[in-house]
Structure formats: C-alpha cells, structure tokens
C-alpha cells in the first residue's frame, strides 16, 4: 500500500530546511479513510499513530458525509478535494502522501505540490479546514446563506487562502535557490490569473456560485506576491496580514460581512 518516496535535489533540500523528520510515501491507491489493516501497515513505517477525532459541537447538524467521517473516530487523512498530495501529523513522524491520481501529472507540478506540503508541515499549519475553524465552523455555517456543501466548499477555500498567506513568502524566495520549484509556483498562479478578471461580475450576476468563486480566488492568493496577481473583490480582503495572524476568527467575520453586502 505504501512505498517510501526518495527525494533528491531541491526537494531533499526543502525537506531538510522545513520538515527534516517528515516521511514521504507513495500510495498504491487514492484514499481518505484508512481501514484498520492499512493503518496497521502504515504503523510499521512510523514510530507511532495517533488518529484524532473532533467534538460533535464543532459541526452543524447537517454536514456532508465526508466531513462527518473525518470528524469521527475513523483514521482519516485529508478530505475529498484535497488533491494528490496530503499530509498528516497523526503519525510520528509526520507523513506526506503522494497519491496515484498524480501519475499522469507533470513532474514539475508534482514536485511543487510536494514542496508545498513539506513547507506546510514545517510551518505547523492546521492539517485541514476543520482543524483550522474548530468550533467556529458552526459559526461559519450560521453566518452564510449556503447549503452544507456550499459551507464545506467555502471553508476549504478559506483554509487554502490562510495557508497560502504563509507558504507563498517561502516560495517567493526560491527564485535563485530552487528555480524549478519557483517556476512551477509562478506557472500555477499564471494559469489561474485569466479566470480572475471577471470573477466579481460573475458572482454579482449569479453566473458563478460564491463558493466556486472563493475556491478560485483563494487558490490565487497562494501565488499573489509582489503584485504578480490581483485578487478581485470581495476576496482581496482576505489577502491581509490580519487574516494571516488571526485566522478563522477573521474568516468568519469576513464571510458574515461579505454576504451582508451581497444581500443589499
């Protein structure tokens, strides 16, 4: 099920600088929840396993099944939509997983995702949007007029923006030291940029649902350094040091005020 993925060159240097104890594993199949036999196999590769669960009070009464499962007692790593690279601190040492869905992706893109995960581990960022919001996830759901799937999508986007505010400064400094990783980071941002120009108008006209627009804009925040990318309103208000410092409290208040403005 798991195979140690050797790192060399820039990725080895990134791990050494940011998460020297992290284990990088390729996986035989895509997964979020690990059944006991698979968890036992993972346990042979690490020093310890400590699966976490989260209080029922954190969640509204009606949430998508994957989120309820993630919050429960099953050993779950990541959530649907997290992509082909996920990581966890439910193991000792932390583990970064590379899933087979990336088998056809360009090597440069996979390396970028791996580098990003190693930086996130090293920065001690929250492992998921549920960890990020905690008990404020229920507050977010109350603050916005969205169905459970919409709240889920918005929360995931806000978490991406928060992480990006921390990781992007690291990537921006890699131009000289790790040019291939830097170029992949820039390229990922440039691919998003053409879709941002009309995003505010599309939301206002109902052409793009708000959670989908948030997903796009918040992904772009990960790359918006030194005026490389202009983040459209109302998402530009997330590109602030205040959000980087205060996290979920800021996110909930931003969501509340944003929807109050949209309703006028």
Identify the CA nearest to 221 among candidates 182, 260, 254, 192.
192
Query: Is the pLDDT assigned to residue 31 strictly greater than 90?
Result: no
Spatial distance between the Cα atoms of 16 and 31, rounded to a whole number of angstroms: 27
Q: What tens digit of pLDDT does each residue of 224-246 get?
A: 987 779 999 999 999 999 999 99
pLDDT > 70? residue 264: no
Nearest CA among 73, 74, 60, 3 for reference residue 32: 74
List Cβ neighbours of 115 (8 Å cut-off, separation of 6 or more).
Answer: 10, 11, 14, 171, 178, 181
Averaged pLDDT score across all residues of the chain: 93
Torsion angles phi and psi, residue 205, rounded to 5: -85, -5
Share of the chain above pLDDT 70, in %: 100
pLDDT digits (tens, 9 = 90+) for 32-41: 788 888 888 9
Neighbours of 83 (CB within 10 A): 13
Token pair of 107 as six digits: 């090597």
CB 193 within 8 A of CB 199: no
This prediction's pTM: 0.95
**Stretch among 23-37, 63-77, 88-102, 194-208 having the lowest mean pLDDT:** 23-37
CA distance 50 to 86: 17
Residue-wise pLDDT tens digits, 137-187: 999 999 999 999 999 999 999 999 999 999 999 999 999 899 999 999 999
């Amino acid at each position: 099920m798991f195979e140690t993925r050797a790192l060399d060159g820039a990725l080895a240097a990134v791990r050494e600088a940011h998460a020297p104890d992290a284990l990088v594993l390729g996986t035989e199949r895509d997964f979020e929840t690990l059944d006991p036999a698979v968890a036992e196999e993972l346990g042979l590769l690490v020093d310890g396993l400590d699966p976490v669960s989260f209080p029922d009070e954190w969640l509204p009464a009606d949430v998508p099944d994957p989120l309820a499962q993630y919050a429960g007692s099953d050993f779950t790593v990541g959530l649907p939509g997290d992509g082909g690279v996920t990581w966890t601190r439910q193991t000792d040492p932390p583990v970064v997983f590379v899933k087979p869905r990336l088998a056809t992706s360009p090597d440069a893109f996979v390396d970028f995702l791996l580098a990003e995960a190693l930086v996130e581990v090293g920065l001690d960022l929250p492992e998921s949007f549920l960890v990020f919001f905690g008990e404020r996830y229920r507050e977010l759901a109350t603050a916005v007029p969205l169905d459970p799937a919409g709240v889920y999508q918005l929360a995931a986007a806000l978490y991406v923006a928060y992480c990006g505010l921390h990781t992007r400064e690291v990537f921006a400094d890699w131009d000289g030291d790790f040019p291939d990783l830097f170029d992949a980071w820039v390229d990922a941002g440039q691919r998003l940029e053409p879709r941002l120009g009309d995003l505010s108008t599309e939301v206002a006209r109902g052409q793009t649902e708000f959670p989908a627009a948030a997903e796009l804009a918040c992904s772009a925040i990960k790359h918006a350094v030194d005026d490389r990318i202009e983040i459209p309103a109302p998402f530009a208000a997330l590109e602030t040091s205040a959000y980087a410092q205060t996290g979920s409290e800021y996110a909930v208040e931003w969501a509340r005020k944003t929807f109050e403005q949209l309703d006028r």
